[in-house]
C-alpha cells in the first residue's frame, strides 16, 4: 500500500474538533496538529466508514494530515478507529500520486485500525488506572497527615500541597470558617507569587464569589 504520509487523529474529549496525534511523512515525524469539524478526519469519523479520496488540485489543505508537506498529497484513505460502537478517531494513509488506493488497501487499513483502536483503548485505561492509583495514594497520605500531625499550620501546608498535586494545580488555598463572624478566613496558600497572591488573613463573607 502506498504511504508517503501516515497519521492518527483522535476526537477531542473535552472540546470540539480533532487532533492529529501522530504524523509521519518522508520518514520524519511532526508535532500534533489541530483539526476542525471540516477536516477529512471529521468526515471519516462522522460517516463511521472508510473513505478514499483523490485530491485533483495539488495544494495542501486541512484535509491533508501533514504540516510540512514534501510534496502535495494527491490521494488519501481514512479508516475510523472504533471501540465497540464508538468512533474515537481516524487512521489515514496518504500518497503523492492520484488513485493510489483500492478496496484491498481499505481492507488492510481497516484491519490495522481495529488493532490500533484496541491498543489505544488499553493504553488509555492503563493511564487512567495509574492516575486513580496515584489519587488514592495522595488521599491516603492526607489521611495519615490528619492523624499524625498536631501543628495546625504544618498540617494545613501539607494538605494544600498534596491537594494541589492531586488535582494537577499549581495554585491552591485553604480558608477556615470563622463561625463568630460568619466569614471564611484565608489560612494558607501555595503557588502564588508573594507580591501578587491574595493577602494573608483575607476574609470573605459567606456567599461572596466561590465562598
C-alpha cell at 208: 461572596
pLDDT of residue 107: 92
CA distance 183 to 205: 5
Contacts of 170 (CB under 8 A, 6+ apart): 164, 191
pTM: 0.57
Q: Which residues of 58-92 are buried (b: 16+ CB within 10 A; e: fewer)?
A: eeeeebbbbeebeeebbbbbbbbbbeeeebbbbbb
pLDDT of residue 50: 95
Q: Per-residue pLDDT tens, the chain, 211 aa: give them.
A: 888 888 888 888 778 888 888 888 877 887 888 888 888 899 999 999 999 998 876 555 554 544 345 567 888 999 999 988 889 899 999 988 889 999 999 999 999 998 888 888 777 776 666 666 666 666 667 666 666 766 777 777 777 777 777 777 777 788 888 888 888 888 877 777 666 666 666 888 777 766 5
Amino acid at each position: 500500500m502506498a504511504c508517503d504520509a501516515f497519521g492518527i487523529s483522535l476526537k477531542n474529549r473535552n472540546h470540539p474538533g480533532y487532533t492529529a496525534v501522530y504524523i509521519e511523512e518522508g520518514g520524519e515525524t511532526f508535532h500534533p496538529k489541530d483539526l476542525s469539524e471540516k477536516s477529512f478526519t471529521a468526515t471519516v469519523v462522522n460517516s463511521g466508514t472508510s473513505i478514499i479520496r483523490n485530491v485533483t488540485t495539488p495544494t495542501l489543505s486541512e484535509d491533508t494530515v501533514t504540516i510540512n508537506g514534501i510534496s502535495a498529497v494527491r490521494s488519501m484513505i481514512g479508516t475510523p478507529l472504533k471501540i465497540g460502537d464508538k468512533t474515537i478517531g481516524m487512521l489515514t494513509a496518504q500518497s503523492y500520486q492520484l488513485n493510489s488506493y483500492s478496496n484491498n488497501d481499505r481492507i488492510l487499513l481497516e484491519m490495522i485500525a481495529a488493532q490500533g483502536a484496541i491498543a489505544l483503548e488499553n493504553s488509555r485505561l492503563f493511564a487512567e488506572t495509574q492516575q486513580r492509583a496515584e489519587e488514592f495514594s495522595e488521599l491516603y497520605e492526607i489521611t495519615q497527615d490528619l492523624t499524625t500531625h498536631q501543628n495546625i499550620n504544618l498540617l494545613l501546608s501539607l494538605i494544600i500541597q498534596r491537594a494541589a498535586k492531586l488535582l494537577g494545580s499549581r495554585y491552591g488555598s485553604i480558608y477556615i470558617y470563622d463561625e463568630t463572624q460568619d466569614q471564611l478566613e484565608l489560612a494558607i496558600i501555595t503557588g502564588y507569587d508573594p507580591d501578587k497572591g491574595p493577602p494573608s488573613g483575607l476574609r470573605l463573607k459567606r456567599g461572596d464569589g466561590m465562598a
